[in-house]
Chain A
Amino acid sequence: MTDAIQNNVNSTNTVQQFRQDFAVIASWVSFASKVLDLGCGDGELLQFLRSGLEVKGYGVEKDDANWLACMQNGSNVIQMDLEDGLSGFEDQSFDTVILSQTLQAMHNTEEIVHEMLRVGREIIVTFPNFGYWRNRLQITNGRMPVSKILPYQWYDTPNVHLCTINDFDEFCKNHKITILERCVITNTKTIHFMPNLLGNLAMYRLKAA
């Protein structure tokens, strides 16, 4: 599902935004650290982090074709379903655990965030901001939002837990998760003013309180 989004993003000439996403994540990952990328798709982010930051990276991916793409680009990849949790990984065994644009497609949302905080000293979560004005506009016009970052129709979307930046802020507060940094972007721009309205991709660096 992450891959589908990525493919869509790539194929619609917004590679820049995707790179921006990578760049922010990379700025939050330490040199030569140990990174776990959940729902790693074809391993592009891992490859980016490996080449730039020499991280020791592992991906987790369920889909066969994505798994193979990861293997072919030289990433370590563990095939498993994130919905089952991260029982194969020890507590605090990674510097950073990343969930990039996959949170909204998880059924066990609370559990995966909890598991990430168990396994990682820090975690990075990114998701499409449902509060973005273009989404609101489509809702106002009586339709479910469809966009580059949310490319699915209501009947075929893997996204089951879409949220806004305000929702996620409150989720962190209620679950006693410390927000270390938050970055909101639209295309290549960082959004500081009214991010919940003007930003379409939210990125958080978090740790357990």
Chain B
Amino acid sequence: MQENNSVGIVAAQTAHFNRPLTLKSGAVLPQFDLVYETYGTLNADKSNAVLICHALSGTHHVAGKYSADDKYPGWWDNLIGPNKPLDTNKFFVIGVNNLGGCHGSTGAASNNPATGQPWGSQFPVLTVEDWVASQALLADYLGITQLAAVLGGSLGGMQALQWTIAYPERVRHALVIASAPNLTAQNMAFNEVARQAIITDPEFYGGDYYAHGVVPRRGLRIARMLGHITYLSDDAMGAKFGRKLKGAIQYSFDAEFEMESYLRYQGDKFAGEFDANTYLRMTRALDYYDPALACGHDLSLALKQVKAQFLVVSFTSDWRFSPARSREIVKALLDNELTVSYAEVTAAHGHDAFLMPDAHYHNILRSYLNNVQV
């Protein structure tokens, strides 16, 4: 990506909330921090703010670099910047690390003010509803009454949807990408295997590994390897690796196939930088999210109060958040006579496609966002 349409060098900021937050579970966080970044300029009437909600392993660092020497920019840098689909000349973009995250916002590795020790196993289980409530507090903190748009992919799309349910007056547009109104049993099953890999790691210590000076690396690594398989399509893996060997067959269990090297590399990298307690909580939030549950499994009823306009996008090869699941959201929106457009993007990359700079996909987002009034 050309440097001249980058948001440039960015810095994270911290919002401290010195007030208790009651979570959906009933647990109370006595106080908390949210780490966030912003790109672009908030206009005078504060009507151009766009919130980016991150998925499982995302962060507040959505675009730009922290220094000119940074190897990689933020995780959705291909989308956000001057003249990019989400144009920072027009919009004020906010990235936030979700509560329970491990990139600066209060999470299990943070100190519990009551004990002065890391929260660890005592850190509460969070929900999508809790994240959205905390994000609304961040919007208050930034003086933003109403967001022009909330945008998210996967678990981030669930947050965008939840914003429109919880705060119908506070969000004008929701962009729900590669998402679902809840997880299927198969989808939750992947999460369960990932969590079991972590929880049964001898170095997990029930979630209190911080006190032992270790991390459940093996579990986290396997969890991530499993995740990566489900984020790619069979075709994409075939195209990327096929049955390619790194060398001659060794009759061993080493990483002989290129696919194995890739998974091991991704697993190792992730295990070195992500917190296992965060992974557990992110996947649990995914499992629990089901806005239709309280409405007799009637999603249309669950969206009755919604006022926002929607863009829903899915990808043909995404089997973890399949187009059929996005169509359920679209149907519920149509049932409520809401303004909605739906695109089913032909893509080979599976779930990962939502992060790829595919020209048609980006044109879809650009066209929609061009029509968003600020």
Contacts and interface: CB of A to CB of B under 8 A. Distances in A.
Contact of A56 (B331, B337, B343, B371): B337
A88 B346 CA distance: 20
Contacts of B367: 68, 71-72
Interface string A66-96: 0110111011111110000000111001000
B360 A68 contact: yes
Nearest to B313: A79
A130 interface: no
A78 B340 CA distance: 8
Contact of A93 (B335, B344, B364, B371): B335
Interface of B is mostly: helix
A77 B334 contact: no
Interface in B338-372: 339-344, 346, 360, 363-364, 367-368, 370-371
A49 to B, nearest CB: 15
Given A72-B367, A74-B371, A88-B327, A67 B334 contact: no
B330 interface: yes
B343 A88 contact: no
A76 B339 contact: yes
Interface string B234-265: 00000000000000000000000000000000
A93 B334 contact: yes
B340 A76 contact: yes
- Which of A58, A68, A79 is packed against the most chain B CB atoms within 10 Å? A79
- Which of B330, B339, B343 is packed against the most chain A CB atoms within 10 Å? B343
Given A77-B341, A78-B342, A79-B342, A68 B334 contact: no
Interface residues of B, number: 20
A156 interface: no
A76 B341 contact: yes
Nearest to B311: A71
Given A68-B363, A76-B340, A78-B342, A88 B331 contact: yes
Contacts of A71: 341, 364, 367-368, 371
Interface of A is mostly: mixed
Contacts, number: 48
Contacts of A89: 331, 334
Contacts of A74: 371
A58 B334 contact: yes
Nearest to A64: B360
Nearest to B363: A68
A114 interface: no
A34 B330 CA distance: 17
Nearest to A60: B342
Interface of A: 34, 56, 58, 64, 67-68, 70-72, 74-80, 88-90, 93
B341 A64 contact: no
Contacts of A76: 339-341
Contacts of B363: 68
A88 B325 CA distance: 12
Contacts of A80: 327, 342, 344
**Nearest 3 Cβ contacts at the A-B interface:** A71-B367, A78-B342, A79-B344
Contacts of A34: 337
Nearest to A80: B344
Contacts of A58: 334, 340
A68 B330 CA distance: 18
Contact of B343 (A75, A79, A90): A79
A146 to B, nearest CB: 31
29 contacts: A34-B337, A58-B334, A64-B346, A67-B343, A68-B360, A68-B363, A68-B364, A68-B367, A70-B341, A71-B341, A71-B368, A71-B371, A72-B370, A76-B339, A76-B340, A76-B341, A77-B342, A78-B330, A78-B340, A78-B341, A79-B342, A79-B343, A79-B344, A80-B327, A88-B327, A88-B331, A88-B334, A90-B334, A93-B334
Contacts of B370: 72
A72 B365 CA distance: 11
B173 to A, nearest CB: 13
Given A76-B339, A79-B342, A93-B335, 4 more contacts: A67-B364, A71-B367, A71-B371, A78-B342
Contacts of A93: 334-335
B318 to A, nearest CB: 14
A86 to B, nearest CB: 11
Contacts of B341: 70-71, 75-78
A10 to B, nearest CB: 22
Nearest to B367: A71
Contacts of B364: 67-68, 71
- Which of A34, A76, A77 is packed against the most chain B CB atoms within 10 Å? A76
A64 to B, nearest CB: 6
Contacts of A64: 346, 360
Nearest to B314: A79
A124 B373 CA distance: 33
A37 B346 CA distance: 23
